[in-house]
Structure 1
């Protein structure tokens, strides 16, 4: 498994589609800031409009995909920048809710959803820009992404058995394709994803993702990348504000948070899976990164109550 696939698999990413918006005439829809670890997205299937994020205004058209890795508050408006309120009708439609204006024929059609990565994936989210805006219309190299967008819309409008599972897998695929597209286009020059793209340091990072419990040191990481310690550290610093060992700790803590939230494993076993030989050492490292002890984090996250050892 390549390192990006392993990283996405380790995240336990979940996705959902919430709304299908169909508007005509003058409309304006504000979106509040999303909770930490949630990435709102919009898939524009027809029409055009204006997106406002803070003081920035940018047009969008059919075929565009917009993500907000920091969960930034934003507003979508009619292409003329309308600010008027408008009457809307909400009704269930398949697995989602349709939000429509009272105008008889919609000019704007957008699918709205959320990728859920959890607060513990800050390392990955920090590697992404505040707004990801991809234009797929008329681009043959985006054919796969465009097809995914329309397949998600189709599944969302159905009530067929297995649809939730299909949407979950399509969401993970869509997120992965977007990240890969940003990597391929050279949009990520700093952070975790830039490290994964760099042929010099990527082998070490892939090794940590594959085996986080190994006793990693700077020397071992440099050996995996077949570089001297000094050269490895220098190249790493060109791509990340974090040191190699800080990245190792962050990846381990991402894994620890996911295991605490999603599994009933004991804190001791989770610590061992993340490379810590004692519960005390694991607890100190975890609290330093997440601001809470492993036990408190599990309670706050609504994690598995059982501590069955598996």
Structure 2
């Protein structure tokens, strides 16, 4: 979401087992295999990146280290909400996953989880996440989590993904919501730094996802998903990656009034580092050379982690801020 679909390139490995509970060899599958199959529906590797942004948002919201219990409750509830959206996405996109090489090992493709069970699992996770966040955090965080699930399923997966090359641009908004939920968990409100963090991830998502889609262009084309690398030239895609990268780096600087020199320094250095590689990808494409877009994909994960960890450290240390943030 985005942050979400994004990290979309990581498919989960599950054992080939049938809904009857038997493996291809005819033996009964164990509890570990069953748990692994359902866990894979939630796409845990995608969730990991979401959590990396949620915790720093909570630190920045209070300009201090938040209550460990509040962090734990927010992360558990947020993980369930993200798992719900991902599981329901697997149900809807089972036909796409079946024809794409990088997603052929997902549970519904391998028949390791019945489709109906996956649907019930996804809905149940969503309901539990709302209840948990409402009871242990606050109503606003719970409502935002459910809104994120609904947006990811109905706006991104059902409306945008198969219809427009701008799918990850607007659909990626779902992946930006964890920072807003984290902020709401601490303050009970949503203030301007939360929207700025939302924007950082919003502008980060296209370069991150399009780099992945450049590598797996044939997969998306075969599945009929009009990702930008499928419908545009590599040069145009690389140019768009550069444009969004510049906007993303500039947007991170909007948080400077709510932070100190420490965050500002890391935001500038990390931004310059990422822009260097984005421009290098464009230069390679423009010269017609063989490119390695996955290198930029992986560096985008590192970049986002550095920026948000810098936010957390800045807030935890409690250095004087440049302005009056709230």
Q: What's the TM-score, normalizing by structure 2? A: 0.33
Q: Whose helix fraction is larger, Structure 1's or Structure 2's?
A: 2
Q: Whose strand fraction is larger, Structure 1's or Structure 2's?
A: 1
